[in-house]
Structure 1
């Protein structure tokens, strides 16, 4: 058995500085079969760096306080306090705080406590393709993201 208070878990943020408070609960307690992260999002902050999918994990978000907005392939979805939203592996999404009041919520992923970086695909603008297309990503030694266009192979780094 392992137990901790959420406030006792250290803060780890995204290399792209898209949120100020993310507490990796699964890492702190040594989870092996699913991921759990706690977030506090101020106005304009997001759970992740942008519109993306995990090909190896489903993701579930629970909004404890406030209202989160998710961009999905089917349009914008509002998730209110006490509501849950699920994304299957391969479904693109981007969740963020579109309002003025803080959002407190949790992100869960399964299977496994960590996703494989090579199983994440982000939809971002490619200067070579001149359109928004899928990009694979990997974490660099400097703590940034290396982005690789899945159409033309163009590579660039964000953060770190």
Structure 2
């Protein structure tokens, strides 16, 4: 048995600098079978870097304070304080704070505590295809994200 206070978990942020507070609780406690991250989103911040899916993991978001907006391929869905939203593997989503107030929430993922990076796909504009299409995710030697178009293979660093 292990326990930790959320405030004692070190802050780690997305390389795209889309949020200022993300506390990876699952890393702190050594989870193996699901992921748990705590977020504090200031106005304009997001849980992730844009519309994306995890082909290897379902995700559940719980909004503890405020209202988060979750963009899908078809809609924008508000998730209010005390509400939960689930995305199946393959569902594209992007959660963000579109209000003037802070959003506090948790992201949970299963069946593993870590993503397989090659199982993440982001929607992005491809200059070669001249369309918004899926892009695979990788990393540069400097630790930045590299997106590669799944249609034509064009690769770029956002």
Give the TM-score category using the shorter length: over 0.9
> d(CA) in 1 for partners of 2:141 and 2:128?
25
TM-score after normalising by structure 1 = 0.97
Verify the 8 A CA contact 1:64 1:82 in the aligned structure 2.
yes
> d(CA) in 1 for partners of 2:4 and 2:93?
30
How much has 1:142 moved relative to structure 2? 1.5
> d(CA) in 1 for partners of 2:34 and 2:142?
26
Residues 80-95 of structure 1 mapped to structure 2, 5 A cutoff: 80-95=80-95
2:53 matched to 1:47?
no
Deviations for 1:124-147, whole angstroms, at most 9, x for unmatched residues? Answer: 000111110000001333121011
2:107 matched to 1:107?
yes
The size of the alignment, in residue pairs, is: 158
Verify the 8 A CA contact 1:54 1:89 in the aligned structure 2.
yes
Unmatched segments (≥5 aa) in structure 1: none
Unmatched segments (≥5 aa) in structure 2: none
How much has 1:73 moved relative to structure 2? 2.1
> d(CA) in 2 for partners of 1:89 and 1:30?
23
Partner of 2:128: 128
2:137 matched to 1:137?
yes
> d(CA) in 1 for partners of 2:143 and 2:8?
23
Partner of 1:66: 66
Verify the 8 A CA contact 1:117 1:139 in the aligned structure 2.
no
SS at match of 1:26: helix
> d(CA) in 2 for partners of 1:139 and 1:31?
24
Partner of 2:98: 98
**Structure 1 outlier segments of 4+, above 6 Å:** none
Deviations for 1:15-73, whole angstroms, at most 9, x for unmatched residues? Answer: 00000000000001000000000000000000000000000000000000000000012
Verify the 8 A CA contact 1:51 1:92 in the aligned structure 2.
yes
TM-score after normalising by structure 2 = 0.98
